[in-house]
Structure 1
Amino acid sequence: MAKQLLSGKLTSKGQLTIPVELRTLLSLKEGDRLAFVLDENERIIEVQPKIKKSIRGVMGALKSTSSIDVDEAIDQARTERAKEVAVGLKGLENE
């Protein structure tokens, strides 16, 4: 494939207009992000679309400090919240 020079325009707000040919080639849509890969001389050598990560895609990325099961955690949170509500209601009764 022959090299082709595509250019865009940088606005005063730092926004870059990407030529339609490049947007089509990279399958870019409004809101997509780009990663600019630099060489050791801080020159751009590559531009890549940044993949959006879904919540499912990042699940498990943080290591848990305990081995509690999700259902157990939900039950524990419900129990703790019920205790807080009970204490609050008791406070209202004592007023």
Structure 2
Amino acid sequence: MPYDIETTITSKGQVTVPAEIRERLDLRPGDKLRFKLSDSGKLSVEPRPRRSIFDQLDSLKLPSLGRPLAQGDIDDAVGQAMDEQVKRLEKATSTGRRGRR
């Protein structure tokens, strides 16, 4: 359904997007709008939603362990990442690339 709605520009140059349009486009605080002005003077506004990765978790295809993730799985992954970081730092230190020995 097309919309033809007027809004007013404030003294600070701000414009309120009418509620009907925000709802239809699922616009939320923090989303951006791109304004395009053609040579002929036609203005168009394009929504540029900024969404958190957490809003898209349901659509992510994560590998399955065949069972629910347990605290031990998380602890193991963190420990492994920390070990890898220590090895990288030790290697960088031994080659003189980072800090003094």
Structure 2 unaligned residues grouped into runs of 5+: 53-83
User: Structure 1: how far apart are the matches of 2:51 and 2:26?
Assistant: 17
Quick one: which amino acid aligns to residue 48 of structure 2?
A: K
Matched residues in 2 for 1:53 and 1:17: separation?
20
Matches for 1:1-95 after TM superposition, within 5 Å:
1=1, 3-44=2-43, 46-52=44-50, 75=88, 79=92, 80-81=97-98, 84-86=99-101
For residues 9-38 of structure 1, the C-alpha deviation after alignment (integer angstroms, 9 at most, x for no partner) is 211222111110111111110111001232
CA displacement, residues 44-72 of structure 1 (integer Å, 9 cap, x when unaligned): 1x321114387xxxxxxxxxxxxxxxx9x
TM-score with structure 2 setting the length = 0.48
Secondary structure at the residue paired with 1:49? strand
Paired with 1:4 and 1:51, the residues of 2 have a C-alpha distance of 20
Task: Name the Cα RMSD after superposition.
Answer: 3.2
| Pairs aligned (count) | 65
TM-score w.r.t. the length of structure 1 is: 0.50
Report the 3-state secondary structure (helix = DSSP H, G, I; strand = E; otherwise coil) of the residue aligned with 2:35: strand
Q: Which has the higher strand share?
A: 1
SS at match of 1:9: coil
AA aligned to 1:16 is: V
Asked if 1 retains the 8 angstrom alpha-carbon contact of 2:33 and 2:48, the reply is: yes
Q: Against the structure 1 CA distance between its residues 85 and 14, is the aligned structure 2 distance closer, same or farther, given a 3 Å change threshold?
A: farther
Alpha-carbon spacing, 1:40–1:75, altered in 2? closer, same or farther (3 Å):
same
